[in-house]
Structure 1
Amino acid sequence: MEAQTERLPLSGIRVLDIGTLIGGPFGASLLAEFGAEVIKVEQPGVGDPMRTLGGVYQGVGLYWLEFARNKKSITLNLREKEGQELLKRLVKVSDVLIENFRPGTLERWNLGYEELHALNPRLILARVSGFGQTGPYRDRYAFDRIATAFGGLTYVTGFPETPPVRPGFNVADYMAGIFNALAVMMALYHRDARQTGEGQVIDLALYEPIFRISALVQAYDKLGRVRERTGNVNPHIAPAETFQTRDGQWIVLIAGTDNIWRRLARAMGREELADDPRYATMTKRVEHMEELHRLIGEWVQTYNAEEVSQILEAAGVPATRMYSIADIFADPHYQARENLVEVETPQLGKIKMSGVIPKFSRTPGRIRWAGPDLGAHNEEIYQGLLGLSAETLAEYKSRGII
Structure 2
Amino acid sequence: MNSTLDSLLNKARGTTPQPGALQGVQVIDMSGLAGQYCGKQFSDLGADVILIEPIRGSSVRREGPFLDDKVHIEYSLPFAYFNAGKRSVCLDLDHPEGKQIFRELVKRADLLIESEKPGTMAARGLDYESLASIAPRLVMTSITPFGQDGPYAHYESEDIVALALGGLLYLGGYPDSPPIAAHGNLAYLAAAQFASVASMMALLSVDAASGDRPGKHIDVSIQECVVMGLETAIQFYDLEGIVRKRESGQQRMAGTGVFQCADGQIYLMAGGIASTRFWESTVQWLVDEGVPAAAQLLDEKWASHDYLVTDEAKTIFAELFLPFARTRTKAWLYQAGQARRIPICPISTPKDILENRQLAHRGFFTTIQHSPSQQILTMPGAPYKLTATPWRSPSPPPRLGEHTDAVIAELGYDKAARAALLQAGVLN
Tell me whether the two structures share a fold, i.e. TM-score over 0.5.
yes
1:325 and 1:74 map into 2 onto residues whose CA distance is 34
Match of 2:13 in 1: none
Check conservation: 1:40, 1:73, Cα contact below 8 A. yes
In 1, Cα distance between the equivalents of 2:304 and 2:49?
Answer: 52
Is residue 2:52 matched to residue 1:41?
yes
- Give the CA deviation at 1:370: 2.0
| Contact 1:5/1:35 (<8 A) preserved | no
- Alpha-carbon offset, residue 192 of structure 1: 1.1
Structure 1 counterpart of 2:356, from 324, 328, 331: 331
- Deviation of residue 141 (structure 1)? 1.2
Q: Give the stretch that moved more between structures: 211-220 or 145-154.
A: 211-220
CA distance in 1, matches of 2:195, 2:92: 25
Q: Tell me what 1:171 maps to.
A: 186
Q: Residues 158 and 229 of structure 1 are in contact (CA less than 8 Å); yes or no, is this contact kept in structure 2?
A: yes
Q: Of the candidates 2, 20, 30, which is equivalent to residue 18 of structure 1? A: 30
Of 51, 55, 58, which aligns to 2:66? 55
Match of 2:10 in 1: none
Going from structure 1 to structure 2, the CA distance change for 1:337 and 1:274 (only over 3 Å counts) comes to farther
CA distance in 2, matches of 1:40, 1:303: 50
- Distance change in 2, residues 1:50/1:272 (3 Å): farther
Distance 2:104 2:361 in 1: 45
Check if 1:359 corresponds to 2:370: no
- The equivalent of 2:205 in structure 1 is 190
Report Cα offsets for 1:37-73 as digits up to 9, x if no partner: 1110001133343354221336522332222111111
Aligned to 2:11: none
> Contact (CA 8 Å) 1:233, 1:240: kept in 2 or not?
no
How far has the Cα of 1:377 moved from its partner?
A: 1.1
Q: Quick one: distance in 2 between partners of 1:234 and 1:92? A: 57
C-alpha contact 1:128 1:204 (8 A) present in aligned 2: yes
Q: Secondary structure at the match of 1:136?
A: coil
2:218 aligned residue: 202
CA contact (8 A) 2:90 2:404 kept: yes
The 3-state SS of whatever aligns with 1:400 is coil
1:303 to 324, 328, 331: 328
Which of 346, 358, 374 pairs up with 1:321?
Answer: 346
Deviates more, 1:278-287 or 1:30-39: 278-287
1:284, CA displacement in angstroms? 5.8
Q: What's the secondary structure of 2:300's corresponding residue?
A: coil
The answer to which of 373-382 and 43-52 deviates more is 43-52
Q: Deviations over 1:51-105 (max 9, x none)?
A: 5422133652233222211111111011222211111111111011111111111
Residue of structure 1 in register with 2:314 after alignment: 290
Q: Which of 101, 115, 137 is matched with 2:152 structurally?
A: 137
Q: Cα 1:392–1:279, aligned 2, differ >3 Å: closer, same or farther?
A: farther
Question: Which residue is 1:261 aligned to?
Answer: 279
Residue in 2 that maps onto 1:78: 93
Q: Match for 2:419 among 362, 377, 394?
A: 394
Larger radius of gyration between Structure 1 and Structure 2:
2
- Please, what TM-score do these two structures have when normalized by structure 2? 0.84
Equivalent position to 1:27, from 38, 41, 61: 38
Could you give the per-residue CA deviations for residues 8-36 of structure 1, whole angstroms, max 9, x where no partner exists? 22221111101112x11111111111111
Take 1:312 and 1:335, find their aligned partners in 2: how far apart are those partners?
A: 23
For residues 223 and 285 of structure 1, the distance between their equivalents in structure 2, rounded to whole angstroms, comes to 14
Shift of 1:166: 1.0
TM-fit CA distance, 1:281: 6.2
The 1:46/1:213 distance shift into structure 2, 3 A limit, reads closer
> Is the CA contact (8 Å cut-off) linking 1:241 and 1:293 kept in structure 2?
no
| Structure 1 pair 52–155 and aligned structure 2 pair: CA distance change class (3 A) | closer
Equivalent residue in structure 2 for 1:343, among 368, 371, 386? 368
TM-score, normalisation: structure 1: 0.89
Contact residue 274 and residue 280 of structure 1 kept, 8 A: no
Cα deviation, residue 275, structure 1:
4.3
Contact 1:144/1:171 (<8 A) preserved: yes
Deviates more, 1:46-55 or 1:65-74: 46-55
- 1:89-108 equivalences in 2 (<5 Å): 89-108=104-123
What is the deviation of 1:116?
A: 0.7
> Secondary structure at 1:279's aligned position in 2?
helix
Unaligned runs of 5+ in 2: 8-15
Alpha-carbon offset, residue 298 of structure 1:
4.4
Counterpart Cα distance in 2 of 1:210 and 1:234: 25
| Number of matched pairs | 398
Q: Give the residue type in structure 2 aligned to 1:209.
A: C
State the Cα distance separating 1:138 from its structure 2 match. Answer: 0.4
Q: What is the rounded CA distance, in whole Å, between the counterparts of 2:380 and 2:260 in structure 1?
A: 29
- Alignment counterpart, residue 278 of structure 1, candidates 301, 308, 314: 301
Deviations 1:366-402 (A, max 9, x none): 2230211111111221102x11111111111122111
1:343–1:350 CA contact under 8 A, matched in 2: yes
Alignment-derived partner of residue 9 in structure 1: 21
Amino acid aligned to 1:315: R
Q: Give the structure 2 partner of residue 312 of structure 1.
A: 337
Cα 1:293–1:100 change in 2 (3 A) is farther
Aligned to 1:250: 265
Cα displacement string for residues 114-157 of structure 1 (whole angstroms, at most 9, x for unaligned residues) = 11111111011101101111111000111111111111111111
CA RMSD of aligned residues (A): 2.8
CA distance in 2, matches of 1:153, 1:234: 20
